Amino acid sequence: MYAQMVKSTGAGVKSREEMSAEEAAFQDRIDADIKIEPKDWMPEGYRKTLIRQIGQHAHSEIVGQLPEGNWITRAPTLERKAILLAKVQDEAGHGLYLYAAAETLGVSRDELTEQLLDGRMKYSSIFNYPTLNWADIGAVGWLVDGAAIMNQVPLQRTSYGPYSRAMIRICKEESFHQRQGYDIMMKMAQGTEAQKKMAQDALNRLWYPSLMMFGPSDKDSVHSAQSMAWKIKMDSNDELRQKFVDQTVPQAEYLGLTVPDENLKWNEEKGGYDFSEPDWDEFFDVLQGNGPCNVDRMEKRNAAWDNGAWVREGLMAHAEKRAVLKTAAE
Amino acid sequence: MSTLYDFALRMGDNTLILGHRVSEWCGHAPVLEEDIALANTALDLIGQTQLWLGLAAEEEGSGKTADDLAFLRDAWEFRNALLCELPNGDFGRTLMRQYLFDEWHLLMLKALQGSSEKRVSDIADKAVKEVSYHVERSRDTVIGLGDGTAESHKRMQEALDYLYPYVGELFTPDAVDTAAAEAGLAPDLASLRAPYDEALAATMAEATLSLPDSRFAHKGGRTGKMHTEHLGHILTQMQWLQRAYPGAAW
Amino acid sequence: MSKEWPLWEIFIRGQHGLSHRHVGSLHAPDAEMAIKNARDVYTRRNEGQSIWVVEAAHITASSPSDKGPMYEPSESKVYRHPTFFDIPEDVGAM
């Protein structure tokens, strides 16, 4: 998902004849599934697209802390509180791993952060939707993490070594996220009338935004070809979306919840569900900054950064003083 | 109710309320590494809460759970030290509060490892490892920020001045503490003060911060006689779902 | 922009007596804080028993064009690998 809206900066896929010797050798390595490492030669477009993609992925993890963090202080039991806190903490860790992967491409975490904070870089639009009742925490784990995992599992095989290694670590850690979400949904769906209502309400609001996570339809996505040739995008948006729907609908049925789509129907011939497209106008609105929570999210991230400046500076100043003392003592 | 119940409740309410406060930082810390570290501290404290309040519930004997105690008592029934419920303020105040609590917490847990009550020493054995790390980390941060820039120094001194009047309560025994000490359940609270003062003096010297002269101490949290207004607001968030939907399983 | 904390590379020795292994990077003002941050960031799931930190700027890495001369010679020294030697099954475990 996090990779699905990144425009590659390459000017379309070059044919073999158009490639320089270096470019051809580079493409050969990718075709042979040999990982590209930080010090290897790489086309400038590959480097730039990766910085944008990994950066956007990292930002999504960090901003993604906010909607779930919204419920940490209201979690209904001690165990739920601990699980949710551990999960949101994981998102911070995943952001950290990804920033580190981007840093191997010659950009600093601070630079990336500033680009997020002043709006030059984006994050996944899903995190601009609110979490309004406790079942949303279940639905975020079940649907949003479910969609993320679908996208991230293939990215473990991506061509850039540090990115691939970060994704392997992230996928390993994420395996509990979706399960804890579904576990909450089961409790809610089997609970009181009020809890069932919460569960259905959460599904109603988060279904289409989850489908949007895979990005616009392939027929409208002009930049995918180069990213796929470079193996920094592994599957098409529509393929992943179809896979997600096929996997999720039976899970909703098991919960006794209704997917909010009148056109949802099993299609025997294609071996998958037919379903309604999300409202792409809404998607682009959210992307432009007009989602329900865009302003709040950026305000919070900016506040954390600005209010933390004196802490970062203070600890650095102390470390420098100590280093001077240490050198003097030697 | 038994002395053990009262004692476990006080330990558990400290970790519950402080853990809640620390968890408020998740997603808002000055740098990712600190965000993750604070969440670890909060997770440890929540885990300890489950043990202490679990013990209190067991001792209470009417089939209640740790969750019942956490989510279904009102403010006057809480027994945490006031220090734990004070608002986070800026990052410096949060870490100063953490440090002032951690030093006490570690001394307390080390003493509790020798408790006459096995269920208490078992919890202490587990928690002492976690809290040894908490204090290492909070001490380093207090020192780093105290001895950092002019601004960080000023903020840390302000934090210390604001929080120090809440330290005394941690060492002020009442009838419950005296009974617990006599039963060998817990240490004499007052005996922890000297090593605490020693640790604080060393840390503050390194942090270039000055401990306030006044030993005035706000109190009332541990006995339940008088909390700050802040506790009620914590509870309105923390207990909301359990209160709004009684009897639901989550 | 204020000065960013330096980047550190983190190496962790796991539970099973293996060598330290590179697990990732993080930022910290100094080595002591880097160790602490590594504990919080990279051992959340009980992954490690010992942590090494090295400031990233102090790592010298081989350059990829050296790959041939650096590593290929060892490829021909297959006798370094135990599977090179055929030991009859009758000999038992070795």
| Interchain contact C5–A (C-beta under 8 A) | yes
CA distance B13 to A204: 38
Nearest CA in chain B to C40: B37
- Note the pLDDT of residue A42: 95
Superfamily holding B3-244 = Ferritin, core subunit, four-helix bundle (1.20.1260.10)
Q: CA torsion, points C74, C76, C77, C81, in degrees to nearest 10?
A: 90
Residue A131 near residue B68 (C-beta atoms within 8 A): no
Chain B residues whose CB is inside 8 A of the A73 CB are 20, 23-24, 234, 237-238
- Judged by average pLDDT, the poorest of A191-205, B51-65, C69-83 is C69-83
Q: Name subunits touching C (3+ CB pairs < 8 A).
A: A, B
Of B106, B94, B84, B91, the C-alpha closest to B18 is: B84
In chain A, which residue's Cα lies nearest the Cα of C34? A319
Concatenated DSSP letters for B61-103? Answer: -SS--HHHHHHS--GGG----HHHHS---SHHHHHHHHHHHHH
Nearest to C40 among B37, B140, B144 (CB): B37
CA distance linking residue A25 with residue A19, whole number of Å: 9
Instruction: List all chains that touch chain B, counting a touch as 3 or more CB pairs closer than 8 Å.
Output: A, C
Q: What is the pTM of this model?
A: 0.93
Asked if C5 and B140 come within 8 Å (Cβ–Cβ), the reply is no
| The residue type at B228 | T
Q: Which of B25, B26, B32, B33 to mutate to test the interface with C (most CBs of C within 10 A)?
A: B33
Residues of chain A with Cβ-Cβ distance to C64 below 8 Å are 37, 39-41
Substitution target in C4, C22, C37 with the highest count of A β-carbons within 10 Å is C4
Q: Enumerate the β-bridge partners of residue C22.
A: C11
pLDDT tens for chain A, 330 residues long, are 465 556 665 557 888 888 999 999 999 999 999 999 999 999 999 999 999 999 999 999 999 999 999 999 999 999 999 999 999 999 999 999 999 999 999 999 999 999 999 999 999 999 999 999 999 999 999 999 999 999 899 999 999 999 999 999 999 888 889 999 999 999 999 999 999 999 999 999 999 999 999 999 877 665 678 889 999 988 889 999 999 999 999 999 999 999 999 999 999 999 999 999 999 999 999 999 999 999 999 999 999 999 999 999 999 999 999 999 988 888
Chain A and chain B share a number of CB contacts under 8 A equal to 149
CA nearest A104: which of C90, C24, B214?
C24
* H-type alpha helices, chain C: 31-42, 67-75
**CB–CB of C45/C39 below 8 Å?**
no
At B183 the pLDDT is 96
Q: Which positions 1-60 of C are in contact with B (Cβ < 8 Å)?
A: 5, 26-29, 32-33, 36-37, 39-41, 44
User: Is A89 within 8 Å of chain B by CB?
Assistant: yes
Q: Is any Cβ of chain A less than 8 angstroms from the Cβ of C44?
A: yes
**What DSSP line would sit under A237-249, residue for residue?**
HHHHHHHHHHHHH
Q: What is the CA radius of gyration of chain B?
A: 18
DSSP string, A89-129: HHHHHHHHHHHHHHHTTT--HHHHHHHHHTTSS---GGGGS
